[in-house]
Amino acid sequence: MTRPVPLFVLVAALAAAPGCERLVERQIEHNLQRVDASVLESPDLQVVLCGTGSPLPDAARAASCTAVIAGGHFVLVDAGPGSWEVLDLANLPIGRVDAVLLTHFHSDHIGDLGEATTQSWIAGRAAPLEVFGPPGTARVVAGFAEAYAADVGYRVAHHGEQAMPRAAAGAVARELPMPAGAAATPVFERDGLRVTMFVVDHEPVKPAVGYRFDFAGRSVVVSGDTRKSANLAANARGADLLVHEALHPGMVGRAAEAARRLGLERVAKLAGDIPGYHASPAEAAEVAREAGVAHLVLTHLVPAPPNALARRMFLAGVADAYDGEVTLGEDGMRFSLPPR
């Protein structure tokens, strides 16, 4: 038996309907206007952490991604899985991303390259996305182009050339020669933003590089994946901000022991292998000290500390090694360096 709806509920629903519609419309307008394009006009060298996690799943952290915005350019260092969503939700002008710089080809650094390429085109990017990186970059870009070829075709056919120009779709690989020794390879110099690439130490993974950005007297260095690297310290000399990866060997070691106790030998082996080609938080701090960096930002956190106690453990030894400012990175964090 169905009960009749009380009259006052019907009246209230009818009265509320126009108000509800207005609320929904306002929300839609707000969403359409939320993008903050003013970051492209700023005179500052700006950094946004678009992924501070690792290959380990984490609801609060995307995998590797650091955005640098300066001189009207919007550049990503790596595009790890989940990072595109972080950028989009940060209300950044994602249709203006004009370059991605790859540090190496581990999946946690390239997994969202297809999304970065496609979604920035949908958001209005006017030319193919430039993807810079060491030898091997062209193969990665070609692979994503193949995987997304049907998608490009659908969108052009569905919305028309005017709205979705095929000429702006996809990415173009700009493979750079590996720097000789401690030297740095120029990546580009545009509108006052100078980018260079240098070798880091992620053995047995080769090539592996980091990037330095100089703009208006300020500088930012992004390490990529590396164990403690003297060449990184040399190339980070005097930087304002060093965004450095960090893996806590003690915490990962405990995870390996726990896996072994549970009979998960394969998991224990994998966990035991990874500390060898990453830097500990204290080692990242030593690099920051040796390079004379003003501010160290830790990213690519393994394991990502979930609470204040774990954050304390993660940073143990850092203050002894380095007396500059230290920030444990979180997705969406922003840093702004005014011109000097």
CB of 244 to Zn ion, least distance (A): 12
Give 67 or 169: the residue with its C-beta nearer to Zn ion.
67
Please say if 108 is a catalytic residue.
yes
In sequence order, the 6+-apart residues with CB closer than 8 A to the CB of 84 are: 94, 112, 115, 116, 119
Query: Is the separation of the CB atoms in 252 and 303 below 8 Å?
Result: yes
Amino acid at 193: L
For Zn ion, the closer CB: 106 or 125? 106
The minimum distance between CB 103 and Zn ion, in angstroms, equals 8
Catalytic residue among 78, 98, 108, 331: 108
Nearer to Zn ion, 108 or 331 (CB): 108
CA dist., res. 237 & res. 240, Å (int): 9
Is 112 a binder of Zn ion (CB under 5 A)?
no
Rounded distance between C-alpha atoms, residue 84 and residue 272, angstroms: 30
Q: Should residue 108 be labelled a site residue for Zn ion when binding is judged by CB under 5 A?
A: yes
Smallest distance, Zn ion to C-beta of residue 188, A: 24
Tell me phi and psi for residue 210, to 5 degrees: -120, 175
- Tell which residue, 223, 221, 220, 195, has the closest CA to residue 209: 223
Q: Residues 204 to 243: which contact Zn ion by CB under 5 A?
A: 225
Main-chain dihedrals φ then ψ at residue 26, nearest 5 degrees: -60, -40
Among 61, 73, 106, 125, binds Zn ion (CB under 5 A): 106
The secondary element (H helix, E strand) that includes residue 11 is helix 7-33
- Pick the stretch among 32-40, 106-114, 152-160, 228-236 that binds Zn ion (CB under 5 A): 106-114
Q: Which span sits near Zn ion by CB under 5 A: 102-110, 284-292, 306-314, 318-326?
A: 102-110
To Zn ion, the closest distance from the beta carbon of 137 in angstroms equals 15
Nearer to Zn ion, 108 or 112 (CB): 108
**Cα 272 from Cα 278, distance rounded (Å):** 12
Interface map 47-86 toward Zn ion (x if CB under 5 A): ----------------------------------------
Q: Give whichever of 50 and 169 is closer to Zn ion, judged by the CB atom.
A: 50
Residues 6+ positions from 222 with CB-CB distance below 8 Å: 66, 68, 77, 103, 210, 211, 212, 213, 243
CB atoms within 10 A of CB 13: 11
Min. distance of Cβ 86 from Zn ion in angstroms?
16
- Provide the annotated active-site residues: 108
Q: Which residues sit at the interface with Zn ion, rule CB under 5 A?
A: 106, 108, 225
